[in-house]
Structure 1
Amino acid sequence: VLPSPKPSQPRGIYDRTTRGIRIYLATPRLRGLLAINLAVASAGALVIVNTVVYVQAAFGLDNQATALALAAFGGGSMVAALALPKLLEAIPDRTAMLAGAALLTAGTLTAAVLPGYDWLLPLWFVLGVGYSTAQTPSGRLLRRSANPEDRPALFAAQFALSHACWLIAYPLAGWAGAALGLPVTAIILAALATVAIAIGFVVWPAEDLEIVEHSHDDLPANHPHLAEAGHVRRHAHAYVIDDMHVAWPRER
């Protein structure tokens, strides 16, 4: 049965336009996701933009070899995507996604010293594994981080912000590949991904609680939200950014 979405209250154009991004940037786990998006774009751009350059310009091979290299990347991505549901039962999303991003970064740096096509195929497979591991759980994070009526806006924000990361990485991979050569390009993209992962570690707390204790000192005593919590201002429940929770609680 398809879910029946709860209608959202009427909002002004500014609120409707920016709501998803405001929820996104106010949620620590999603700020971490944005950093991972940048790491994924940095490493992914090396594959998507420069595979043909590696295979045909550097190694002197043909279109069929290029297609096989991209198939190796896609195969690694598919293997990881199929394994992730079971894996995520055992480890947190944060651990899996940061590990995938770290694998991507290490693989991108390794591409700086590729000796030949025979090494490129397994490396591209590994990059595919890291790519999918870092990206696939993002839908779970988005769903956890908003009320049902705000999820469309939040998914739209993920689309926009992740594509902004690609907008940085694609031209960088293309320009650097042409101007500086493939080894330097791989090092630059790996460095950018490393910075992004470091930011992700900092902004996404290791203890990513869904039930968060917080206080509502600004609400009147008879507010329905306080009534649901037993008429106590400090309480805990599944916390998302919305009209009554406009900022993430500070740790005490």
Structure 2
Amino acid sequence: MHKIGFPTSLNNPIFRRLYLAQTISLLGDALTWLGLALLAFELAGKSAPIVLAGALTLRVTAFTLLSPLAGAIADRYDRKPILMVTHLGRMLLVCLLPFVNSIWQIYALVLGLNIFNAFFAPTYQATIPLVTSKADYPQAIALSATTYQILGVFGPGIAGVLALVVGARELFFWDGLSFTIAAILIGTLPGNLRSDLTESAQKSIGSIGTDIRAGTSRLWHDAPIRYGLMMQLVASIAGAQILVNTVGYVRGTLHQTAVEYGWVMMGFGLGATVGAMVIGMFPKLRSKIVTIGAGGLLITLSLLGANFVGLVPLIGLWAIAGCGQSLISLTLQTLIADRTPTEFQGRVYGAHFAWSHLWWAGAYPLAGWLGTTVPDRTFLYGSFVGLSLLAIVQLWLSPDRFVHTHPELWHTHAHSHDPYHQHEHPADVGSKNRSIAHQHPHAHSHLSHIHAYTDISHQHHPIDTSHP
């Protein structure tokens, strides 16, 4: 059983600096998104849910389109300059947000910010196992993902107080400062943060498309990861309702200030913290699957009565929702790390980042539409949609079928080339004479052969037998 030993992973000085950079930039992100919510309410009034939904949809569209490419690039090149450029680019853009005076400017800057973010997030996730030991990386991933959950929604509590002191628009300058500090910290990292690929593979830009397909294939062919990914679809419905419509409910219906809005979102962060603590207690595969299912149930049920309560009960409900969100996302991240070889993690994390955010690309417009069409029942109807999807996923991907799933097995076998079948390999592999057939070792995997209760046969699911 894994221990919840976050201080152990922080003993690693490289990871400690990487983690500190992430923490500072995430705190700045919290300032940005609270500032955007207040800015949307200032410019659009009752139409703020539509503005926020549009901005957030642009965010996840950038993630969906660019994250697989980012993951493939992260597997080929030094990740340090990628991380630095993405921070500095976001710093420049957030410093323009205080001068926004129209809706289209919000959309343009949000799109630019999240083009950079789409390259940062999967690169960062894939770097964690690279700079930590095999024993420590589950704890490092847990700590990093927990911080993401907490500061992504707990930070607005701090931002709400800061907004009263410096003003809503000035929050963006603080965010720019956070990105600058994070970039400086990343600059102190070693200059060789790359996976162990051969030189020819690193330089083969033409095969990036193949890597993108391979990352997606590995993601969907692994049954436990596929179940978790579909549960993220369930969670996105509820999560989008919270992120898009809470500001309108707290400011418009309950007639509270930005500080109270920050408190409500802080409840979400507190729940995410509790969920992260729970995850470390259940390291086995079956427990992880059940944990993901429980998270989906918690986050969807928490919305049922949210339209009919005051400020304090709403904070409690959002704490339950935050716990559910954390149970799903953090458990799935550890599943990917456990079940994916290190040299493929950039591609798989990139594919996961894209697919998980594709769900939000549909959930945000739905939340915006409900927020303006039925503002007094938006959370209730969002919960109904989420519960319906939850039932479908449970029936389609029953957790019990994964009880006897084994991790993938990597091995090599003889790989023959005849004179009519040639493709490139590193210089030290095989013969250079293209006219002579030859053999060399070639690695591939048989992923997750599954023993279902109702089927005692072994089901082999090969992922990608092409050359990485």
Q: CA deviation at 1:103?
A: 0.8
Secondary structure of 2:304's match?
Answer: helix
**Paired position in structure 1 for 2:311:** 117
Cα pair 2:296 2:390 within 8 Å, conserved: yes
2:348 paired with 1:154? yes
**Paired position in structure 1 for 2:293:** 98
Q: Which of 190, 210, 213 is equivalent to 2:383?
A: 190
2:406 paired with 1:210? yes
- CA change 1:204–1:34 in 2 (3 A) is farther
Secondary structure of 1:137's match?
Answer: helix
Cα pair 1:37 1:135 within 8 Å, conserved: yes
TM superposition score normalised by structure 2: 0.44
Q: CA deviation at 1:145?
A: 3.2
Give 1:5's aligned amino acid: S
**Paired position in structure 2 for 1:250:** none
User: After superposition, what is the alpha-carbon deviation per residue over 1:112-167, rounded to whole angstroms, capped at 9, x for unaligned?
Assistant: 4x232232111111111111112111111112332222111000011101111111
Q: Which of 216, 225, 242 is equivalent to 2:464?
A: 242
**Paired position in structure 1 for 2:43:** none
Q: CA deviation at 1:200?
A: 3.2
- CA change 1:51–1:160 in 2 (3 A) is same
User: After superposition, what is the alpha-carbon deviation per residue over 1:178-210, rounded to whole angstroms, capped at 9, x for unaligned?
Assistant: 112241x22332233223323432225424212
User: After superposition, what is the alpha-carbon deviation per residue over 1:70-117, rounded to whole angstroms, capped at 9, x for unaligned?
Assistant: 1111111112212321244696110001101101111122224x2322
**Paired position in structure 2 for 1:41:** 236
Counterparts of residues 67-146 of structure 1 (less than 5 Å): 67-88=262-283, 92-112=287-307, 114-146=308-340
Q: Which of 364, 369, 383 is equivalent to 1:170?
A: 364
Structure 1 unpaired stretches of 5+: 214-218, 227-235, 245-252
Q: Which of 245, 255, 261 is equivalent to 1:66?
A: 261
**Paired position in structure 1 for 2:160:** none
**Paired position in structure 1 for 2:3:** none
Structure number with the bigger relative contact order (C-alpha 8 A, sep ≥ 6) is 1
- CA change 1:152–1:141 in 2 (3 A) is same
- CA change 1:87–1:205 in 2 (3 A) is closer
TM superposition score normalised by structure 1: 0.78
Q: How many Å separate the matches in 1 of 2:255 and 2:221?
A: 49
Moved more, 50-59 or 141-150: 141-150
- CA change 1:223–1:174 in 2 (3 A) is same
- CA change 1:24–1:223 in 2 (3 A) is same
Q: How many residues align?
A: 229
Q: How many Å separate the matches in 2 of 1:83 and 1:124?
A: 17
Q: How many Å separate the matches in 2 of 1:111 and 1:62?
A: 18
- CA change 1:13–1:124 in 2 (3 A) is closer
**What is the CA RMSD across the aligned residues, in angstroms?**
3.3
- CA change 1:89–1:212 in 2 (3 A) is closer
2:217 paired with 1:22? yes
**Paired position in structure 2 for 1:6:** 196
